Structure 1
């Protein structure tokens, strides 16, 4: 049921080895700050003391560490870029400035609609972010485990050049 975690400093719930290996590969592709957030999120999702709210907090920070400088470099340098502003920038310029390395039916790079959808899934699923709102509540464990896997995929895509600026926007 338990195994030593990737850092070697604790226990985590044992998963199918291929799933763990894929997540570790995605984490390894990320910049160091994002790696740290993803590892903390993974431990909060699968460690001996799960903390679903922490998972969401950490995965969003990990994605911001990669996406903000990539999509909004000047805003990121000034500390004004967030996951929300990244999503807005990508959504507003999805067909003119950005593309996915993954080809579509005609073999050309694909539009970024699906990536924006994944970012929105992560962002909107964090209902524990603000108190006092009607939908505000603690995240549950299934949500946390789901979002940490999605975040690992998104982090891998952002870190490995799957999202890229169009050559001639």
Structure 2
């Protein structure tokens, strides 16, 4: 049976989500043996969802459910989180929150987009604005845009020289300008759509990975 397609499918998913949250708390609070038992139950539940063809799977932290996404995207996110945490712990947490808010059983596009921006800020601000008293993604965008000739990418251009940072700047521009609910009352203010939130999470994962690994750097 496809759990996600049954008449009571969403109720089953919500119960499973709550169970995973309980198991995560029990595992950490009751010692190593309980942790192993809780982890085994989580793995069994994940197997049931996979075998049943459910649209849902375990969150990255295994404390709840989220929509099943393409495996390459999931690996990209995981790699970005690992790279970010090596540089700035908060960045990994923000990126996870963005993913869960975008793909959780109760999506929140506004939170997903906001957390995606924060994830990029967490790694980019210390690198590009180390002395700024009020660093923001907008300030990072301006710094890189105005100083394009001072930075390069790890990849080479068509002539074999280090490529310029146009791609990174445009991706930051996309993320920065696309957050239409950042300020209310403007002529272009609008709620964040689910599609925009998912796009922001993907863009943030790429930017976080690039910055954390030093793929965008000074000459």
TM-score range, shorter chain: over 0.9
C-alpha displacement of 1:21: 1.5
Gaps of 5+ in 1: none
**Residues in 1 aligned to 2:71 and 2:158: alpha-carbon distance in whole angstroms:** 33
Q: Which residue is 2:20 aligned to?
A: none
Q: What is the distance in 2 between the residues matched to 1:20 and 1:85?
A: 29
The answer to whether residue 87 in structure 2 is matched with residue 34 in structure 1 is no
> For residues 131 and 19 of structure 1, what CA distance do their matches in structure 2 show?
32
Shift of 1:139: 0.5
Report whether the alignment pairs 1:118 with 2:176: no
CA shift for structure 1 position 18: 2.3
Unpaired stretches in structure 2, ≥5 consecutive residues: 1-54
Q: Deviations over 1:86-122 (max 9, x none)?
A: 1111111101x21111110111111111100000000
Return the alpha-carbon distance in structure 2 between the equivalents of residues 50 and 26 of structure 1: 21
SS in 1 for 2:66: strand
What's the CA shift for 1:16?
A: 1.9
Cα distance in 2 for residues equivalent to 1:134 and 1:88: 23
2:207 to 130, 134, 154: 154
CA distance, structure 2, for counterparts of residue 27 and residue 73 of structure 1: 21
Structure 1 residues 14-56: Cα deviation after superposition (integer angstroms, max 9, x where no partner): 1122221121111111021000000000000000110000011
Distance 1:164 1:70 in 2: 9
Match of residue 98 from structure 1: 151
SS in 2 for 1:73: coil
Shift of 1:163: 0.6
Q: Distance in 2 between matches of 1:74 and 1:27?
A: 25
The 3-state SS of whatever aligns with 1:104 is coil
TM-score (structure 2 length as normaliser) = 0.72
Whichever structure has more strand as a proportion of its residues is: 1
Which residue of structure 2 lines up, in the alignment, with residue 53 of structure 1? 110
Distance in 2, matches of 1:18 and 1:130, equals 34
Which structure has the bigger radius of gyration?
A: 2
Determine which structure has greater relative contact order: mean sequence separation of CA pairs < 8 Å that are 6+ residues apart, divided by chain length.
Answer: 1
Equivalences for 1:127-166 in 2 at 5 Å?
A: 127-166=180-219
Distance 1:121 1:91 in 2: 13
- Tell me the number of residue pairs that the alignment of Structure 1 and Structure 2 aligns: 162
Query: Over aligned residue pairs, what C-alpha RMSD do you find?
Result: 0.9
For the pair 1:68 / 2:105, whether they are aligned, the reply is: no
More helix by share: 2
